[in-house]
């Protein structure tokens, strides 16, 4: 069972993923789609190196 904090984390993560995808180039978006097609349920964008690097970069910018 999820509590409000878990729900907030899930919603926040979805928002971050949406922002990340918006900032990708057309080619990068196509690569994400190909990865999703090939890897299926094994693919998790929130665990991808690109997303993790983007998230860390945005955290640094947020606090500078």
Say if residue 30's pLDDT is above 70.
yes
How does the average pLDDT of the chain come out, rounded? 86
pLDDT band at residue 47 under the 50/70/90 scheme: very high
> CA torsion, points 36, 18, 26, 38, in degrees to nearest 10?
0
How many Cα atoms sit within 13 Å of 22 on the Cβ side? 6
Instruction: Give the residue numbers spanning the domain of 43.
Output: 4-63
**Consecutive H or E run containing 6:** helix 4-23
Q: What is the rounded average pLDDT of the residues 29-49?
A: 95
pLDDT of 26 reads 97
For residue 11, the model assigns a pLDDT of 72
In total, how many domains does the chain have? Answer: 1
């Amino acid at each position: 069972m999820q509590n409000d904090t878990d729900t907030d984390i899930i919603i926040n993560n979805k928002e971050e993923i949406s922002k990340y995808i918006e900032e990708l180039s057309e080619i990068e978006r196509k690569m994400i789609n190909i990865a999703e097609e090939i890897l299926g349920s094994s693919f998790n964008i929130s665990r991808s190196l690109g997303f993790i690097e983007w998230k860390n970069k945005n955290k640094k910018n947020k606090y500078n």
